[in-house]
A and B are shown apart, each in its own frame.
Chain A
Amino acid sequence: MLNVKDLVVNYGAIQAVKKVSFNIQQGEIVTLIGANGAGKSTILHTISGIMRPVSGEVTYLDHPIQKTAAPKIVQAGISQVPEGRHIFPGLSVQENLQMGAFLRKDRAHLSQAYEDVYQYFPVLKQRLNQDAATLSGGEQQMLAMGRALMARPKLMLLDEPSMGLAPLFINEIFEIIQAINQAGTTVLLIEQNAKKALSIADRGYVLAAGEVKLHGTGQELLTNSAVQKAYLGG
């Protein structure tokens, strides 16, 4: 579905991503794990069209998209839930969701999208008219995911969804990610919580200093001694 080949991306003067290649098949949950500064977010921003690669290719459903503008990429079916949530403060919860469907014109589609979001995140339905800035961290994460789902994406990019959340919320978020995946959305997940991410992922890639160091199924990586040592706390 998505194929990234020899991707090189600069972040300011630093080469943040050095010849990274990976792929995602339809229906999978794939995770990229690695420490801070490994280049994970830069990769997501490049897929979303916010950053441009120096070289390499990003192919989505057999079309190269590394030069495509961000709104076109959303339209093609790739939505991102950015790191740090980035909900729109000052806009109500409902307006935030509506912005998620900015490019959707047909009403039937829209009401189905709202229904799906309320089903995954019932709490949002209770807070529709509240300013999004007044939500708790966990609720903001749910809103950010709900907003991305409003575009009814084929591929969802999640950047550190568990960051700064209480353990209870983390479990809930991961269950919802699995549910979204089972409903037919392919997921690319970036996490520092490697254990959690690998336990739900079909496959994973381990990144360090802008390069892919290891690749395998979620289970393989979970039991790999090098991964355990570096990312799973022994």
Chain B
Amino acid sequence: MQTIGQQLINGLSLGSIYALLALGYTMVYGIIKLINFAHGDIYMLGAFWGYFVINKLHFNFLFAMLSAMLFCALVGVIIEYFAYRPLRKSPRITALITAIGVSFLLENGMTYFFTANTRNFPQAIQTVTYHLGGIQISNIQLLILGTACLLMLLLELIIKRTKMGKAMRAVSVDPEAAQLVGININHTISFTFALGSAMAGAAGVLIGLYYNSIDPLMGMTPGIKAFVAAVIGGIGSVPGASLGGFLIGLLETAVQAVGLSAYKDAVVYFVLIVILLVLPAGIFGKKTKEKV
């Protein structure tokens, strides 16, 4: 029972990171039908930004995270503007390959300028471990879980309540009609990239604090797993991405807990295959077409 409780805590912490990342994949896919493979690398940039401002500028953790979100939002908007916008009318495969190219550019660019060395993320917050009935919870885990839930709630409010959020949904279901009511498609897409990238930036700083180490290739595997999470949840669905993220996190920790660490990635993909066989559109995927 204790072990299960412990793994649940670990799984939820890891899962919140995947969920934050998956949100970016799903929002960008929802609005321009692009799998943004560079998304994991934005998370890496967020972690490096956090590392830099905490070490060099002595930011506290909160400001490090907020500034990383801002920085990543800007990077996301710039990438969209230069790499994806000119390809808006090209076949989807062209944009997809470009996304892979952007990913390589960021990974190798960072390696070139800052070397491939793994470095220790500064301990901006002293780790404190609480014992609750035999279960260990660190304040960092609580921070990750709390921050992730708060950001998801905030995102949900932005999408559901604000004018820009509604415009995002309008553009994703019908870009032409959105233009006819006066919505600027380019602004809306930039806004979507900013939101998704800010989430990735927060995730990057949180994971740095949690795992204590960062390197230029750290975005690859979590990026792909978050993509899997988005697909499992139903790509294009915001609640689906959150749920998928938590599911993948829990699954991975569970597999490790039973002593199959070497197979944890394989299990994730296996579950992906099974879910897609049973629910081809993912858990919250869209099944219904609009009435005409």
The CA of A20 and the CA of B118, in the complex, are separated in Å by: 67
User: In the bound complex, do residue B292 and residue A151 qualify as a contact, i.e. CB atoms below 8 Å apart?
Assistant: no
A50-B176, A88-B174, A91-B170 as given contacts; A100 in contact with B181, CB under 8 Å: yes
Which residues does chain A contribute within 8 Å of B163, judged by CB atoms? 98, 102
User: In the bound complex, do residue A86 and residue B170 qualify as a contact, i.e. CB atoms below 8 Å apart?
Assistant: no
User: In the bound complex, do residue B167 and residue A102 qualify as a contact, i.e. CB atoms below 8 Å apart?
Assistant: yes
Partner of B177, one of A86, A134, A137: A86
A133-B290, A147-B181 as given contacts; A86 in contact with B167, CB under 8 Å: no
Interface size range of chain A in the complex: 35 or more
User: In the bound complex, do residue B180 and residue A102 qualify as a contact, i.e. CB atoms below 8 Å apart?
Assistant: no
User: In the bound complex, do residue B180 and residue A70 qualify as a contact, i.e. CB atoms below 8 Å apart?
Assistant: yes
- A79 contacts chain B at the CB level, 8 A cutoff: yes
User: In the bound complex, do residue B169 and residue A82 qualify as a contact, i.e. CB atoms below 8 Å apart?
Assistant: no
The CA of A112 and the CA of B173, in the complex, are separated in Å by: 28
- Among A50, A71, A75, A140: residue with most chain B CB under 10 A: A71
- A89 contacts chain B at the CB level, 8 A cutoff: yes
Which residues does chain B contribute within 8 Å of A69, judged by CB atoms? 184
B157 to chain A, nearest CB (A): 14
User: In the bound complex, do residue A137 and residue B166 qualify as a contact, i.e. CB atoms below 8 Å apart?
Assistant: no
Which residues does chain B contribute within 8 Å of A98, judged by CB atoms? 163, 166
Closest Cβ neighbor of A88 among chain B residues? B170
User: In the bound complex, do residue A70 and residue B179 qualify as a contact, i.e. CB atoms below 8 Å apart?
Assistant: yes
The CA of A80 and the CA of B181, in the complex, are separated in Å by: 8
- Chain A proximity mask over B154-168: 1 for CB below 8 Å, otherwise 0: 000000000100110
User: In the bound complex, do residue B292 and residue A99 qualify as a contact, i.e. CB atoms below 8 Å apart?
Assistant: no
- A185 contacts chain B at the CB level, 8 A cutoff: no
- A4 contacts chain B at the CB level, 8 A cutoff: no
- B272 contacts chain A at the CB level, 8 A cutoff: no
Closest Cβ neighbor of B177 among chain A residues? A86
- A90 contacts chain B at the CB level, 8 A cutoff: yes
- A87 contacts chain B at the CB level, 8 A cutoff: yes
Closest Cβ neighbor of A163 among chain B residues? B292
The CA of A74 and the CA of B182, in the complex, are separated in Å by: 6
- Chain A proximity mask over B72-98: 1 for CB below 8 Å, otherwise 0: 000000000000000000000000000
- A226 contacts chain B at the CB level, 8 A cutoff: no
Count of chain B residues near A, Cβ 8 A: 20
Partner of B183, one of A71, A86, A89: A71
A91-B169, A91-B170 as given contacts; A99 in contact with B181, CB under 8 Å: yes
The CA of A71 and the CA of B170, in the complex, are separated in Å by: 14
Partner of B292, one of A49, A88, A90, A164: A164
- B178 contacts chain A at the CB level, 8 A cutoff: yes
Which residues does chain A contribute within 8 Å of B181, judged by CB atoms? 74, 79, 99-100, 102, 147-148, 150-151
- Chain A proximity mask over B35-77: 1 for CB below 8 Å, otherwise 0: 0000000000000000000000000000000000000000000
Closest Cβ neighbor of A81 among chain B residues? B180
The CA of A99 and the CA of B184, in the complex, are separated in Å by: 12
- Chain A proximity mask over B248-292: 1 for CB below 8 Å, otherwise 0: 000000000000000000000000000000000000000010111
Cβ < 8 Å to B, chain A residues 88-144: 88-91, 95, 98-100, 102-103, 133-135, 137, 140
- A84 contacts chain B at the CB level, 8 A cutoff: yes
- Among B163, B174, B176, B181: residue with most chain A CB under 10 A: B181
Which residues does chain A contribute within 8 Å of B173, judged by CB atoms? 88-91
A-B CB contact pairs (8 Å), 13 listed: A49-B179, A50-B179, A50-B180, A80-B180, A86-B174, A88-B177, A89-B290, A91-B166, A102-B163, A102-B183, A148-B181, A150-B181, A151-B181
Taking Cβ atoms with an 8 Å cutoff, the residues of B that contact A are 163, 166-167, 169-170, 173-174, 176-184, 288, 290-292
